[in-house]
Structure 1
Amino acid sequence: MNMRDFLRASAICGLVLAVSGCGGISSGNLFGDNTGPDAQVAPQVEEGRDKTDTIWELFGNADDPNVTVEVNKYLWQASLEVLNFLPIQSVDPFSGVIVTGYGTPPGGGRAYKATVYVTDPALDARSLKVSLESRGGVVSAETVRAVEDAILTRARQIRIRDANL
């Protein structure tokens, strides 16, 4: 075998490897039929879900829509207690959202509407998102911060009370 034949054979092998690595061949052999040694291999199954471990799973939404978001019970309860003067329009403890209608706080003259979103099971300020609006428009950031602080303080009080039981 001379050098020219060796280079030709190397080029053909490289081309075959490049084409076989392009994908679309599920059984691992060059022609894509199911007669190779791994034709009988079944995908791993974990809790009823096909576990294929491909790169495309990184870009897809593989989350189970029946799985709920966990919310912190202390933040949830504190939100309901602190905002008890507001009429509740909708409550979804599975997604962590509380939506209220307009109501006036005790001793106040301005009506507010709130949306509370508890995003995490941790008792943490990052787990709580509060949005307030009034009939007159935008509510100041200081007012929103004061409501968030009141909810967090009440949540800590409830947790301490439960720990003493």
Structure 2
Amino acid sequence: MSKILKITLILFLITSLSGCGGMFKPKKVDTRESPINARDRARKNVSEGKGISLGNLGKSKTSYEFSTSNPMWRASLEILDFLPLLTVDYSGGMIITDWYNDTDNSKDSIKITVRFLSNEIQTNSLKIIVHRRSCESANNCRINKIDSKIEGELTRSILAKASLLEKNKKN
């Protein structure tokens, strides 16, 4: 065998075997510095040169992030199904109920707004706002944002239902 062929073969083997990981160790990463949202993680990876971005290739002008296959979206609609819905915006990730009052007290009514901050099933993925309308007469009403246990109960119920839907989807 010629000397050039031997050197070429040795260089080829060294370069192909070095890709197996024997010569290089992966860099340690602190997961607390990684974004929670998958889209933000992907953007960070692309900006650091760890991936590729296809831009808007294959995307239409309108993007519907929160579809009926999203467990958080479905769980929210199922939990709030007893309330009249005023606005349901898939692309904006928002559900707004109409004013709802209990039959016992017709002077007070509530309105609930659910905002989806991400697709992840986590407590920080939802923002729930409750407003109360108190009316002295038909033309004299006060509307205030209230902090009540309803927000926490709704968040827990939606997350539990979304987890159940996600689990059933995988099975």
Structure 2-normalised TM-score? Answer: 0.50
Aligned residues of 2:129 and 2:145 also touching (Cα < 8 A): no
SS in 1 for 2:81: coil
- CA RMSD in angstroms comes to 3.0
2:76 is aligned to 79
**Mapped partners of 2:62, 2:123: distance in 1:** 24
Q: Deviations over 1:105-143 (max 9, x none)?
A: 7x9856321111112121111111111112233433322
Structure ID, larger Rg? 1
1:154 is aligned to 161
Cα gap change, 1:47/1:75 in structure 2, threshold over 3 Å: closer, same or farther?
A: closer
Q: How does 1:134-153 map to 2 (within 5 A)?
A: 134-136=132-134, 137-153=144-160
* Equivalent residues, number: 104
Structure 1-normalised TM-score? Answer: 0.52
Cα gap change, 1:157/1:67 in structure 2, threshold over 3 Å: closer, same or farther?
A: same
**Mapped partners of 1:158, 1:70: distance in 2:** 18
Alignment of 1:123 with 2:121, yes or no, is yes
Aligned residues of 1:85 and 1:104 also touching (Cα < 8 A): no
| Percent identical residues | 25
Aligned residues of 1:71 and 1:120 also touching (Cα < 8 A): no
Give structure 1 stretches of 5+ with no counterpart. 1-45, 50-63
Alignment counterpart, residue 65 of structure 2, candidates 60, 65, 70? 70
Give structure 2 stretches of 5+ with no counterpart. 1-53, 135-143
Q: Deviations over 1:55-107 (max 9, x none)?
A: xxxxxxxxx9x4636348111111111111111111111121111101247x9
**Mapped partners of 2:81, 2:65: distance in 1:** 23
Amino acid at match of 1:114: I
Q: How does 1:31-46 map to 2 (within 5 A)?
A: none
**Mapped partners of 1:151, 1:108: distance in 2:** 26
